[in-house]
Structure 1
């Protein structure tokens, strides 16, 4: 497609004559990445209204829909989006807080608190990609009646990037040099360098009110009552919260979108397990929505036969992976185990890491446990497809693992357990409590036993494992084990944030209250260099190639063992209509949910 043809196609998209999905597919087939296609669409200016995936909001008035009941088997434990280390907490926050924009299912941006998506045509996007102006929606108020303004946007950047705040969202602003107030309802984002993916990570970050958080910036950040009693701009106001148990929101009658929301109350119930959640929506109809149905596919299909609900598969960028601790969880340094600077006494050996990778039956996990909910993979980055490496292959081979261990000098002792230099191959393997994950643990343990490796299995309640409780030793951020397994969410079509999980400056530690993204503590100078280079690379093909190099580097080193590319799996009541996206939080679209008569 030459330049003239591209311009004509963009004009057809703008007028509504060419479906946006068809335009995206054409450019992806030519080799462009989804983020770059999105950038072209945003740069083209306003587009004729089109529904996302055919979804159309039908209610003609606000309220009247009664109560919508959501079941999260991992209950939210806090309601400050800047401290949300797990999706469960982000889901709770998104009931009340909103971002500038959110990603739809087809990978496009739609405005939320922004008045429009910046583009070259509307003057928002600078030609050199070094800055972007976001115009804010007028007439938006916080739930306490205070106006939402540019000061709030600037404050959130200041709050998140203050080291003493120790916010998990600090990395969202990594590329941002500063945020300037243009006027009461416009801000300029100035990047450190030209930004090829200028929507970045900041634009979909939920915003908190300056007037309630400014007194608690920095070292006082954990003392703010609003951490548990949110005051946002969203379609629902805070009504009640019991950490790990329930969240309740009531309709915000002054919400800034006409005729929305449809439901009068939102009830989120936490706890239980994924099977119970699936049954409550698909079979009994007690709830309208169930999140993250990490359930064996055969059982999901049987439950769907109950006729009360349906399973929805939402492709995104999630990946279930096994992590070997780069640091030493058995040594304490200044009151901290698995401290940066320490090294795991056994996993330092590349041969042992290679053997561990050979002892994971990824295909078996897909075929017999996950089904539709997981595709075996050797890659940490799996979607969009242009970022997916074709250089890596996975292999399950117990005999080969034994040969590798033999050659590396690991000898079998009493009971067949291998050891070397007096150190036995005996490891603590932890994950969250979930039937499917415990079956994965059992499968991996069985294979390891055949190779002379003993695994002690530990299952931690999900609300604890994924929490940011600095006093709890069982969180995955502390990683006080030799191995752990969990799913991470990419959250947007660009993999930048996903790959940020392995840069050295994001290592989880006591100094950042264990909120750094790099939980495995892996450190590699070449990876850091590639990440910084990709951050400033404007050529989409070169940028994708750099990200593939990063994927290959971390996966080949063996501390990160990808298991399954996981689409989001949700359960919906038959009459519930909701524009869900694999790139965005489900509760972030609550304003658009409705129940058919």
Structure 2
């Protein structure tokens, strides 16, 4: 976050206008003004975005990763969105419901949402309450392969109660739900009414967002066209081209030579930061991210089920040297899965200690003894595993080599087997088919610290759960703490619960937290209104406001 955020929901300041005739029209004009006023000097000049990973999921309710979000947030609309200050702002809804404005009952269980009447789908059909019901019911359906059911599965008795109004009742209060719904992109019921529609929709998506689908060349680029009927105004440019450039070095060269205007995920490598600062007509931007870079374990593998092994691996890794020599001191070391900007971040977690001898002794005590070839083993299980990440990422490749050498020194073999992004972050990752991985993950729910989809025991897709617990991590105390934190609207209660969760995960180490990502993104001079937003998973979140300066 750009500033500590307490999870407050800010009601729309023009709420009183809704009590009078013509209020919705006034509200629409007010909301559209920032976008309508942002048309660039040359709106026909496209913005060319370079990404090191290829967006491959175009149905926003299906499992997807961060790079997909940058596209989906521009094709689709949510009921509300999170801005760069961490505040929730209306999108398809007229206002964000809260206890203070009466949209949420005092016990947190009864919710009321009013939609704006002027939103349309890219095919011209109106966005209606039926679309909201359809979207939420998809996520509530256990048979639907949802990207997440967090919070939504608690919704009961959801119904239309007016031409533009719906209500529901929660089985239990769930404090993070406003942040959850900010990342739920609404889909058109009329396009997805039949079971067979999903595949067609995934190749030709229709949303209600600021840009429309303009076509795709797989493994090369995706084209977007401005939506002239967008309910929040007119985007700053007519066209956007998103290019997939898997090699980070090649992507930087294209930024340097002017072939791309914005260099996004994974950004400018730290070892190119000084070079980027010296470029004419280009500027690097250090943007704090919610992502935590680290080494993830698949606890379903027998060699990782002993906590002593995970702790020893962490002790054997020289994290300080990695940060200093490979990351050029750009990144911030961390021991938590939450970013430092979160109001729930626990700064008192025990610091990492680089101590290979302690690692050897720990493994000895746990019964992992070196075999004739020097590789440790116990009960027929060798301490040997693969580590994977996105192919073509030189920073991670260097980190892998350092870790590989460090682990061999204590009797552990780590084999490096990297994959193209589409393979790495597909079923191989989401279905826990990996041994270990170098990965950057945003564990938050928007601006809320709820990380239950990643760490709650029943959220593992490999075990039949809906969520992102690819670690297959299970700790009953962590489960109970998430339940306590997420049913309370009391800030102090939630702070205490999340502090303990961070302590337990730091102890159990389903992942080794290396650093909070400080992404260095690149922007061409003359492209205005870029805003870094630590509350979302892509800084393309406000692409509709970008424009070419006069």
Report the TM-score when normalising by structure 2: 0.89
CA deviation after TM superposition for structure 1 residue 508, in Å: 1.9
Q: Which residue of 2 aligns with 1:425?
A: 383
1:244–1:463 Cα contact (<8 Å) kept: no
Q: Which residue of 2 aligns with 1:323?
A: 296
Take 2:131 and 2:41, find their aligned partners in 1: how far apart are those partners? 27
2:122–2:227 Cα contact (<8 Å) kept: yes
Distance change in 2, residues 1:562/1:43 (3 Å): same
Query: 5 Å matches for 1:395-410?
Result: 395-410=353-368
CA deviation after TM superposition for structure 1 residue 277, in Å: 2.3
Q: Which residue of 2 aligns with 1:129?
A: 108
Distance change in 2, residues 1:406/1:381 (3 Å): same
1:579–1:593 Cα contact (<8 Å) kept: no
2:42–2:548 Cα contact (<8 Å) kept: no
Distance change in 2, residues 1:237/1:375 (3 Å): same
Q: Which residue of 1 aligns with 2:21?
A: none
Deviations 1:438-475 (A, max 9, x none): 1111111111111111111111111221135xxxxxx2
Distance change in 2, residues 1:316/1:129 (3 Å): farther
CA deviation after TM superposition for structure 1 residue 382, in Å: 2.9
Candidates 450, 458, 462, aligned match of 1:505 = 458
Query: Is residue 448 from structure 1 mapped to residue 384 from structure 2 by the alignment?
Result: no
Candidates 282, 299, 308, aligned match of 2:281 = 308
Q: Secondary structure at the match of 1:170?
A: coil
Q: Secondary structure at the match of 2:418?
A: strand
CA deviation after TM superposition for structure 1 residue 521, in Å: 0.7
Q: Which residue of 2 aligns with 1:157?
A: 136
Higher relative contact order (CA 8 A, sep 6+): 2
Deviations 1:384-440 (A, max 9, x none): 443122132211111111121222233333343222334322211122221111111
Take 1:134 and 1:62, find their aligned partners in 2: how far apart are those partners? 38
Distance change in 2, residues 1:46/1:568 (3 Å): farther
1:325–1:347 Cα contact (<8 Å) kept: yes
1:296–1:369 Cα contact (<8 Å) kept: no
Candidates 527, 546, 549, aligned match of 1:593 = 546
Q: Which residue of 2 aligns with 1:360?
A: 317
Candidates 534, 540, 545, aligned match of 1:582 = 534
Distance change in 2, residues 1:265/1:533 (3 Å): same
User: Unaligned 5+ residue runs, structure 1?
Assistant: 1-20, 29-33, 329-343, 469-474
Take 1:590 and 1:445, find their aligned partners in 2: how far apart are those partners? 40
Q: Which residue of 2 aligns with 1:70?
A: 49
Q: Which residue of 2 aligns with 1:375?
A: 332
Distance change in 2, residues 1:276/1:192 (3 Å): farther
Query: Is residue 232 from structure 1 mapped to residue 232 from structure 2 by the alignment?
Result: no
Candidates 38, 42, 63, aligned match of 2:11 = 42
Candidates 415, 418, 426, aligned match of 1:467 = 426
Take 1:372 and 1:82, find their aligned partners in 2: how far apart are those partners? 37
List structure 1 segments (4+ residues) > 6 angstroms apart after TM superposition: 43-47
CA deviation after TM superposition for structure 1 residue 314, in Å: 2.8
Query: Is residue 248 from structure 1 mapped to residue 206 from structure 2 by the alignment?
Result: no
CA deviation after TM superposition for structure 1 residue 111, in Å: 1.6
Q: Which residue of 2 aligns with 1:267?
A: 241
Deviations 1:486-512 (A, max 9, x none): 01123511111x342011221122746
Q: Which residue of 2 aligns with 1:484?
A: 437
Candidates 382, 386, 391, aligned match of 2:343 = 386
Take 1:351 and 1:406, find their aligned partners in 2: how far apart are those partners? 10
Take 1:348 and 1:562, find their aligned partners in 2: how far apart are those partners? 18
Distance change in 2, residues 1:520/1:445 (3 Å): same
2:12–2:95 Cα contact (<8 Å) kept: no
Query: Is residue 139 from structure 1 mapped to residue 87 from structure 2 by the alignment?
Result: no
Take 1:554 and 1:405, find their aligned partners in 2: how far apart are those partners? 20
Take 2:394 and 2:371, find their aligned partners in 1: how far apart are those partners? 33
Take 1:424 and 1:127, find their aligned partners in 2: how far apart are those partners? 56
Q: Which residue of 2 aligns with 1:566?
A: 517
Take 1:429 and 1:444, find their aligned partners in 2: how far apart are those partners? 10
Q: Which residue of 2 aligns with 1:435?
A: 394
Query: 5 Å matches for 1:525-536?
Result: 525-536=476-487
2:36–2:235 Cα contact (<8 Å) kept: no
Between 1:517-526 and 1:415-424, the stretch displaced more is: 415-424
Q: Which residue of 1 aligns with 2:160?
A: 181
Take 2:13 and 2:236, find their aligned partners in 1: how far apart are those partners? 33
Deviations 1:126-173 (A, max 9, x none): 233223322222211101110001111111011122122211132251
Q: Secondary structure at the match of 2:471?
A: coil
User: Unaligned 5+ residue runs, structure 2?
Assistant: 17-26
Q: Secondary structure at the match of 2:377?
A: strand
Take 1:302 and 1:179, find their aligned partners in 2: how far apart are those partners? 55
1:239–1:249 Cα contact (<8 Å) kept: yes
Take 1:178 and 1:89, find their aligned partners in 2: how far apart are those partners? 31
Q: Which residue of 2 aligns with 1:298?
A: 271
Take 1:193 and 1:45, find their aligned partners in 2: how far apart are those partners? 30
Distance change in 2, residues 1:558/1:122 (3 Å): closer
CA deviation after TM superposition for structure 1 residue 212, in Å: 0.5
Distance change in 2, residues 1:57/1:321 (3 Å): farther
1:92–1:247 Cα contact (<8 Å) kept: no
Take 2:336 and 2:313, find their aligned partners in 1: how far apart are those partners? 16
